[in-house]
Homo-oligomer: A and B are copies of this chain.
């Protein structure tokens, strides 16, 4: 069994009276755009920005991210604004260059069972955000988490982002029941990604409300100043006005849930 997951004792990255909001564009864009987004997020009280420098893409012909240049942009944004950076890592070799920029190392759904990567991340001293593979059971996901813990890094955050089912009206099916199922087994914090799971801008708000009400420890939301100009995932990306509405409603339910947005 996933012993270390079940006997988790570490003070978690998100505490039980907190609710973490991570927002930002799918991929890193030009420095000016990124700076503007970072400042707007901070002004709303959002302290963690997501943005991918290296993008794992189904097709080799899709935009693969700005790569090293994207990391540099993130570094400057972070230095200038102090915003915490959440970014996906694809290969173990990228770890050194990420270490000085990225605050939370995201492992994407496609790499959830890339055990070489998990082991390498088990040796660093940074929080790891482990997304659930869209083909993995909760059990397989917690075992993947155990791989990181066993390797030595106990700073882990889980993120539910939907599983593959026959339903086609959403990109994947958000398995909201996985939150209380995981909560029964471990104190490791668990987030929900309503943007990637649904692939639909219009339902991000109700899913975010459901996330906090079901007991998740946070959400990860795609947002951009101008979603129509975003380099990828336009259909699910909120503009900043929509993001502010989500925050408003999260605040209201947070009070009922006795949680504070961080």
B-contacting residues of A (Cβ < 8 Å)? Answer: 2, 56-60, 90-93, 110-111, 113-116, 133-140, 143-144, 146-147, 150, 163-170, 173-181, 183-184, 197-198, 200, 202-203, 206-207, 209-215, 249, 252-253, 255-256
Contacts and interface: CB of A to CB of B under 8 A. Distances in A.
A92 B117 CA distance: 11
Given A164-B164, A181-B203, A184-B202, 11 more contacts: A58-B140, A111-B114, A163-B173, A167-B175, A167-B178, A176-B207, A177-B203, A180-B203, A183-B206, A207-B214, A253-B253
A219 to B, nearest CB: 12
Report which residue of A181, A211, A255 has the largest number of chain B beta carbons within 10 angstroms of its beta carbon. A181
A167 B176 contact: no
Contact of A116 (B90, B144, B253, B256): B90
Given A143-B59, A207-B180, A213-B212, A138 B167 contact: yes
